[in-house]
Amino acid sequence: MSVNSLDVVIGAGSAIGRALIERWSREGAQPILAVARSADSLSVIEPLGVQTHQCDYSEAELAALASQLQEQSADISRLVICNGVLQGEGYRPERALNQLKTSAMEQVFEINTFLPMRVLALLAPVIKRSAAPRIAVLSARVGSIGDNSLGGWYSYRASKAALNMMLRCAVLEMRRVNPAAKIMAYHPGTVDTPLSQPFQASVAPEKLFSPARAAEAFDTVLSSLAADGELSYLDWRGETIPW
């Protein structure tokens, strides 16, 4: 472990991100930086003894975060990007073409695809000179084109599929300068969080994971990754999901 090694959780206000921070802070292996939009969600995390950083995820604020990490000579060991939405103010996951609305599609793509890529773009200089950065971005199995036999959820599915493609580009770029970097697009299973809450009725209780259980499975999968210069698209069992 280098003196400035650090774990970073972006979207730390998410139920999965928070559970991960709780887990990692209990282990106490190294400093953790938790990044979220709201002071309220960070105030819940602060008592865990982690560093917090409020950020609106704009290019300007992410650039400021990147400069701060550069100045600290931060060596990122684990970077997890949790941000994602399935529905929002005035829109629900679409079941049919006649429900597609451009403004809703834009919002879902903004948070599920553009935001994580903005984080990677702005933090790239730090990632590129970190010793062995393992990067995990919360994707979803429904982002798999090959696995899509049901249809529906147009924007959510497509935003995660686009995310996966951009992560593939990123790993190809990254491995030229830092062969020890690894990127994973991850499906956590169905987890009991605000995101899945409206859709849990059809999920068998044994298939609905608590955030703590999801964090444990995530940790097992992340720590099993070899730095092979590839993008892995994995589920909570560590099994590969078809593109």
Ligand X SMILES: NC(=O)c1ccc[n+]([C@@H]2O[C@H](COP(=O)([O-])OP(=O)(O)OC[C@H]3O[C@@H](n4cnc5c(N)ncnc54)[C@H](OP(=O)(O)O)[C@@H]3O)[C@@H](O)[C@H]2O)c1
Binding residues for ligand X (CB under 6 A): 11-17, 36-38, 41, 57, 82-85, 111, 115, 138, 140, 187-188, 190-191, 193-196
At its nearest, how many Å lie between ligand X and the CB of residue 118?
A: 10
Q: Kindly give, in sequence order, each residue whose CB lies less than 8 Å from that of residue 102, ignoring residues fewer than 6 positions away.
A: none
Residues facing residue 8 across a β-bridge:
33, 79
182: left (phi over 0), alpha (psi -120 to 50) or beta: beta
What angle do helix axes 59-71 and 115-128 make, rounded to 10 degrees?
20
At its nearest, how many Å lie between ligand X and the CB of residue 176?
A: 27
At its nearest, how many Å lie between ligand X and the CB of residue 91?
A: 12
In terms of CB distance, is 61 or 173 closer to ligand X? 61
Helix/strand/coil for 243 = coil
In terms of CB distance, is 59 or 228 closer to ligand X? 59
Hey, how many other C-beta atoms are within 10 angstroms of the C-beta on 209? 22
The residue of the chain with the least Cβ separation from ligand X equals 84
At its nearest, how many Å lie between ligand X and the CB of residue 180?
A: 25
Cβ–Cβ under 8 Å, residues 181 and 175: yes
In terms of CB distance, is 105 or 132 closer to ligand X? 105
In terms of CB distance, is 50 or 191 closer to ligand X? 191
In terms of CB distance, is 163 or 174 closer to ligand X? 163
Q: What are phi and psi of 18, to 5 degrees?
A: -65, -40
Helix/strand/coil for 188 = coil
Cβ–Cβ under 8 Å, residues 231 and 164: yes
Exposure on the CB side of residue 170, measured as CA atoms within 13 A: 29
In terms of CB distance, is 110 or 132 closer to ligand X? 110
At its nearest, how many Å lie between ligand X and the CB of residue 218?
A: 10
In terms of CB distance, is 18 or 182 closer to ligand X? 18
Cβ–Cβ under 8 Å, residues 235 and 141: yes
Closest CA to 184 of 216, 217, 229, 131: 229
At its nearest, how many Å lie between ligand X and the CB of residue 54?
A: 9
At its nearest, how many Å lie between ligand X and the CB of residue 238?
A: 16
Helix/strand/coil for 52 = strand
